[in-house]
Each structure stands twice: as structure tokens, then as C-alpha cells.
Amino acid sequence: MIRSLFQVVALRDRTPVLGTVPGHLTRVGHAVIIVYAVVVAIVASADYVRQYEPDGLWVVYFAVIVVTYGLMIRSPLDAWRLGTAGLFVDLVLHGSPAPLMSGWQWCFYVPVVLAVAVHHSRSVVFTTGVLTLAVLGYAAALREAGFYWESAIVLVLVLLVAYTFGARGRAEQVIELERAEKGALEERARIAREMHDVVAHHMSMVVVRCETAPYRIAGLPDAGVREFAELGDAARGAITDMQRLLGVLRGADQEADKAPQPGLGQIPELAERAGATVDVPELDVPGAVGLTAYRIVQEALTNAARHAPGGAVSVVLRSADGDLEVVVRNTPGGASLGGGGGHGLAGMRERVAVHGGELAAGATGDGGFEVAARIPLGDK
């Protein structure tokens, strides 16, 4: 309770009120909030001027309401703090024995407590509700205002309904986060399984060179022969250990992949099958980099076919400043086909991160989509 009280009263809150709304609708939502705030502020200011001498205090009413809703966009708790303080002062200074809250006060305050209840935890919502009822109860006692309990019941119902709605959304966010983390782990395991072949190839070359060293190097002393034999045995043991590790990473229903892993050489064929134009020059890159580039192109082509069917797609690879650049771009197409069970951009980023590279993806100016990756080539 003490922790929740501290959070409600003093802790900095960075919870956007429209944080779960799709990006292209966020600005519209913010505009609606501000327009609503201005309308309520005008009504409140006009009500004050009508009842009291036009001493300029109406400007304070206008500012408090608009600033409260401006704060709500980025911080519902900050909005609740200012809104509750402003409402309390108004009730104490200008309240009447009539109903505790007037029409514009309800219109002003209900969305504020609703925003807190939707976005925060049960303890925070409970503490906020208790403080709200306490503040309004104290103001009602000072002014001997009526209908306090009726007002309290309405506010409690608003908090309960909003919290229930928000709790469902938060639960869905947790599930989505867990699903994303599971997907990332599955993608890393898949990357590890695929990288096994690349690493095993290099280790096999070490074994072969160690075993053939006595025949290739004339006059090699006995100590050198033993050294190469030990190195060959160690490399062979490393291959065996990697195979065991691969068995751990492979699911119970997964069969071992006997086919060699693809690389840059297979990208032109992949792109042509997808109907894409391709520009892949002859490049000498490490096998792991070639595999990563292939998987990025494969996933990007799949996404283009799924989300922009019929659009023109281009695949470009080039070497620049010690990096391999991979760019897959598509123009707008027909209606999205939806679906897809892969991990998409998250999987691409995991693959690029293995090499310490970068991946950027987003809409293009003509309404299409572009995936661009930079993969350090390192030592070949």
C-alpha cells in the first residue's frame, strides 16, 4: 500500500494513454483528446463567468483543463494529479450545497480517472480510487454538498469497468510479449542449427589439414606430427560435441536436415522463382554471412508475396566498406493475403545481430516496403 501510495503521489509516469493504438491513428486520437479538452474548458470558463464577476479567473479554469488533458497524452497519473487538485480547489472555493459535481466537472474528471484505471495496476487503481474519494469527500464535507455517495458510487463503477477493460488489454500484451520471446528463442535455435553446418565445414577442413600435414610438409619432426594429430583429434571431438548440441536444439518432432545450407549462390534462383529482379554480383563472403543473406532475402520475398501480391520486387546485394549490403524492395501490390507463421522482421534482426550487423525495414515513399541489412564480412 505504501509503495502504491508513493507511486500515485510522486512517481514519474510514462504511460501514453494511446500506447496500444496503431501508429497512424495516434495523432487522430491526440487531436480528439485536445478538442474535447478545449470544449470542456470553454464550457467551464463560460459557467464561471456566468456565475461570478469576470475577474479573469476563467483563464485559470481553461488552462487547468487543457493542461490536464495535455498531460494525459503522455502520463495519465500526472493528469490525475493536476485534475484532482484543480477539481478540489474549485469545489472548495465555488462549490454549493447542491450536487457535489456539476455537469462540466463530471465531463472533465471522469475521463481522467478512466485513463488511470485502464493503464495501471490494481494496486495503483485502488490507491487512486481511495484518494479520489477521500479528496471529494473532504470537499463535500467543507461545502456541505449533497449527493456525495451517489457520486462516489459512479466513480467506483467507472474505475471498476475501466480497470477490467484495461486488465484484459494488459493480459493480451503479456501474452503477445511471451509469444514474441518464444519466437525469438525458436529463431535463435534455428539459426544455431543452420550455423552448425557452416562451422562443421570449417572444423572438417582443420581435421583434414592436420591429418595431411605430415605428408604435405617435408621433414616435419616427430613432435610436429604429434601436435598435428592432437589438433586433429580436438577438432574431431569439437564436431562431435556440436552434433550433440544440435540434437538438444532440435525438437522431438524435427528431423535432421541433410541438405547443405544455401548461400549467395542460391539467391538468384530464389529471387527468380519469386518473380523478382535480382542484382547479385560475384562476391567472396564467409559461409555464415551467405547463409544469413539468403535467409533475409527468403523472408523478405515471402513477406512481399503475402502482403503486396502482384507488386514489383527487386533484390540487390553489394559489398561496401567491409560489409555486405542486402536490399529487398517491393512496390505496392494487391490486398494483403494475411497469415504467416514465421517470425518475420524479428527473425531477420536475430540473424543480422549474430554478425554484429544492422537491419532497417519500413515503408517507402511510393507505398511499398524495403528491407535493408548491413552484414559485416569480417575475416573470410
135 in the same domain as 213:
no
All three cell numbers of 203, joined, read 572444423
126 in the same domain as 50:
yes
pLDDT per residue over 64-107, tens digit each? 899 998 888 888 888 888 988 888 888 888 766 677 777 888 88
192 found inside a domain = yes
Instruction: Please give the pLDDT value at position 87.
Output: 87
User: Total structural domains in the chain?
Assistant: 3
283 in the same domain as 239:
no
110 in the same domain as 71:
yes
179 found inside a domain = no
Question: CA-to-CA distance for 351 and 152, rounded, in angstroms?
Answer: 55
61 in the same domain as 132:
yes
- Residue 8 vs residue 346, higher pLDDT: 346
159 found inside a domain = no
244 in the same domain as 285:
no
Instruction: Please give the pLDDT value at position 339.
Output: 54
243 found inside a domain = yes
How wide is the angle at C-alpha 258 spanned by C-alphas 180 and 285, nearest 5°? 75
6 in the same domain as 122:
yes
- Residue 255 vs residue 293, higher pLDDT: 293
254 found inside a domain = no
152 found inside a domain = no
pTM of the model: 0.51
* 292: pLDDT strictly greater than 60: yes
359 in the same domain as 224:
no
336 found inside a domain = yes
* 259: pLDDT strictly greater than 70: no
What's the mean pLDDT in 321-326? 90
100 in the same domain as 24:
yes
* Residue 127, domain extent: 2-146
* 317: pLDDT strictly greater than 90: yes
Decide which of 205, 222, 249 is a domain's last residue: 249
- Residue 320 vs residue 183, higher pLDDT: 320
* 17: pLDDT strictly greater than 70: no
Contacts of 6 (CB under 8 A, 6+ apart): none
- Residue 206 vs residue 312, higher pLDDT: 312
- Residue 165 vs residue 302, higher pLDDT: 302
130 in the same domain as 22:
yes
35 in the same domain as 128:
yes
pLDDT band at 324 (very low <50, low <70, confident <90, very high): very high
156 found inside a domain = no
What's the mean pLDDT in 231-243? 81
Give the domain CATH number at 334: 3.30.565.10
Instruction: Please give the pLDDT value at position 297.
Output: 92
pLDDT band at 9 (very low <50, low <70, confident <90, very high): low
Instruction: Please give the pLDDT value at position 251.
Output: 56
Decide which of 114, 146, 178 is a domain's last residue: 146
314 in the same domain as 236:
no
